[in-house]
A and B are shown apart, each in its own frame.
Chain A
Amino acid sequence: MSETTVAGLTTEEMIVNVGPQHPSTHGVLRFVVTLDGERVNECVSHIGYLHSSLEKIAETLRYEQYITNTDRFDYLNGLGNELCYVQAVEKLLGIEPPLRTRFIRTVMAELKRISSHLVYLGCYGNDIGAVTIFLHAFRERELLMDIFEAVTGGRLLYNYLRIGGLRNDLPTGFGDQVHRFLDHFPRRLTEMTDLLTENRIFIGRTRGVGMLTAEQALSYGVTGPSLRGCGVPYDLRKLRPYAAYDQVEFDIPTFPEGDCLSRHLVRMEEMRQSLRIVRQLLDKMPDGEIQAEVPRRLRPEAGEVYERVESPRGELGCYLVSDGSDKPYRMHWRGPSFYNLQVLPEMVRGGLVADFIATLGSLDPVAPDIDR
C-alpha cells in the first residue's frame, strides 16, 4: 500500500472487487482492482467460476455425442463452435463434407457472427451508459433467432451440425427469410451507428482508451476483432480458408489505433462483411446431398488434429487426439476469450474506473468461453 501525504492528509489505495456479481462482467468473472481514487493501479483477474470440464467430458462421450456440448461454452457462437469441432473430427476421419453442407455451415456461422456482434453492441452500449442501444440490438437479433429456430429448432443451443453433414437440410422459405433480413438489416445498422458510434460522448469515452499495441496483442495471443483493432489483418477465414470461405469475396476490416473505438469499429464493419458473405453464399448455394458417407461407428485412426476457426471473439482452436477408439482420447479447446482477457491488466493500468469497464466490454469476453 502506498501512502502519500498531501498537506497533512494521508491517502491510501482502495481494493475493490469487480465481480463475481457486477453488472458489467459479462458473466461470472472477478477482478480485484486496486484503486487510487478513481485511477486503476492494478488489476488481477480471477476466473474459473464457470469452469465446466468440457475437455474431460469429451473423453467420456463418443465423437458424435459431444456435438451438443460444443454449443455451450461460447454460447453466443454455438454454430461456430460446432463447425470447429465437426471439422476437427472430419479431419481425423478423412471425410470431406459435400459442397452444399459447407455452404450452409458457412451461412449459419456468419449469421451467428452477426448475432454475436449484436449482443456485443448492445452490452457495450450498456457498459458505456447508453441503455437504449441494447434493446435495439436485441430486436434485430431476434430476427436472426427466428432464422436459427426455423433451421435448427433451437434458439441458443442448436446441435445442428453432424460429422460429415447436417442434421437436416434448409427449410423451405429459408432464402426468402434471410434475404428479408439482409435487405432490412443494413438500414438498422446505420441507425445504430447514428445512435451510438457517431455520438460525441461515445467517441470521447472510447477513443484513446484501453490502448493495445499490435506487438502487445500478438505477444499475449489476442486474436479476433481485438487484434484487428490494432491493425493486424489476422483472420483465419482469409488466411486459411475453411468451409466455404474460399468461395466468397470479403474484406478484413482493420483499424490501426488499438483503442476501444477501433475494436468497436472493427465489429461494426464485420457485420457488414458478414452480410456480404451471406448474400454471396445464398446466390451460389448449390443443390445436392448434405451428408457425406460416414461409417456407422466412428473410430478414427490413432492420430491428432489441431483445427482452428475464426469465432466472433477470435481464434477458436480444437485439439483432438484419437487412440483408435470411438471416444476422443484427449480434447482441448482454445477459447479466444481466455487469451483475450489475459491482456486486460496491461490495458487498464493507469486508466479510470470507467475506462476499466469500457475496456473490458470492448474485449467482448464470454465467461464460459474463458473457463470452458
Chain B
Amino acid sequence: MSDSRNNLGIATELRRRFGEGLLRAEEDEPGTLHVEVDAGVIVEVCRFLSEQAQPPYPYLSDAFGADYEDHLQVVYHLFRPETGEGALVRANMARDEAVLPTLAGLYNTANWAEREIAEMFGVTFDGHPDPRKLLLPDDWVGYPLRKDYNLPDHVYLRPEPLHEDPQAFLAGEAEPEVTDE
C-alpha cells in the first residue's frame, strides 16, 4: 500500500543529496512522487531512486519528452512492481543544447524510449548504445513533436519522388510517368 511517509522520506533524502540540481521533490497525489532535476544529475538521481531509496523504485516503465518552448523536458516514470506506485522524474535542459546522459545502462526500457525521444524532440542521449531512428524514416529531417515544427508541404517517404515534377503531378497538370522498372 502506498505510504506517504516513505515518499516524504525519499524527498528529504533527495534534497539532502542533490541540493542544487534538485528543482522539486514532492508528492502531490498519494502514491506518486514528483521529482524535477537538472539534466546533469539525472543518472545519479535515478540510480539513487532505484537502488538506495527506501523503498526503492527499481524499474523504469516509461520515458517521454515535452517541449516547454523555453526548455525541453524528459520525463521518466519509475515504478515499484510490488505496490504499483510510481515516481515521475523530470530532467530539464536548454533547447539549443539538448544533451542528456543515457539511462540505457541503468534500465533496458530506456533504450527504445530514448530513441523515440531523440527523434521526436532532438534530444541527444550521450552514450546511447543504439542511436538510430526508431519510428521515423532514417532520412527524416526535423523533430516533429517540438512546438516549432512545421510539417513540410509534401513528405516523400521514398528515396526518390515518383515523378520528376511532383508538385505539378499532384496538381493534376502532369501525366504519370511509366517506367520500365
Contact = CB atoms under 8 A, between A and B. Distances in A.
Interface of A: 47-48, 51, 53, 55-56, 216, 218-221, 223, 227, 232, 234, 236, 239-240, 306, 308, 315, 317, 319, 321, 330, 332, 334, 338-339, 342-343, 371
Interface stretch (B15-23, B39-47, B81-89, B92-100): B81-89
B111 A342 contact: yes
Given A221-B61, A306-B88, 18 more contacts: A48-B136, A53-B144, A216-B108, A219-B59, A219-B108, A219-B109, A220-B108, A220-B109, A239-B83, A308-B86, A321-B66, A330-B67, A332-B66, A334-B77, A339-B113, A342-B111, A342-B112, A343-B108
A4 B113 CA distance: 37
B125 interface: no
4 closest A-B pairs by CB: A239-B84, A48-B135, A221-B109, A332-B64
Given A218-B59, A232-B81, A317-B61, A56 B144 contact: yes
B62 interface: yes
Given A221-B109, A343-B108, A306 B32 contact: yes
A216 B62 CA distance: 16
A334 B61 CA distance: 9
B107 interface: yes
Contacts of B81: 218, 227, 232, 234
B109 A223 contact: no
Interface string B57-85: 01111101011000000010100010111
Nearest to A222: B109
Contacts of B134: 47-48
A181 B145 CA distance: 44
14 contacts: A216-B108, A219-B59, A219-B107, A221-B60, A227-B81, A236-B84, A306-B32, A319-B62, A319-B64, A319-B75, A321-B66, A334-B62, A339-B109, A342-B112
B31 interface: yes
Contact of A339 (B61, B86, B135): B61
Contacts of B59: 218-219, 221
Contacts of B67: 330
Contacts of A321: 66
A371 B135 contact: yes
Contacts of A342: 108-109, 111-112
Interface in B124-159: 134-137, 144-145
Nearest to A335: B62
A240 B84 contact: yes
Given A47-B134, A48-B135, A56-B144, A317 B62 contact: yes
B84 A338 contact: no
Nearest to A346: B108
Nearest to A241: B84
B136 A338 contact: no
B77 A306 contact: yes
A93 B83 CA distance: 26
Contacts of A308: 86
A55 B66 contact: no
Contacts of B113: 339
Given A48-B135, A218-B59, A221-B61, A234 B109 contact: no
Nearest to B66: A330
A332 B61 CA distance: 13
A216 B108 CA distance: 9
A317 B109 contact: no
Contacts of B108: 216, 219-221, 342-343
Contacts of B75: 319
B60 A51 contact: no
A330 B64 CA distance: 11
Nearest to B133: A48
B112 A339 contact: yes
Contacts of B31: 240
B56 to A, nearest CB: 12
Interface string B8-27: 00000000000000000000
Given A306-B32, A342-B111, A223 B61 contact: yes
Interface string B99-125: 000000001110111000000000000
A319 B134 CA distance: 21
Nearest to A214: B81
A47 B66 contact: no
Contacts of A332: 64, 66
Nearest to A220: B108
Contacts of B84: 234, 236, 239-240
Contacts of B60: 221
B60 to A, nearest CB: 6
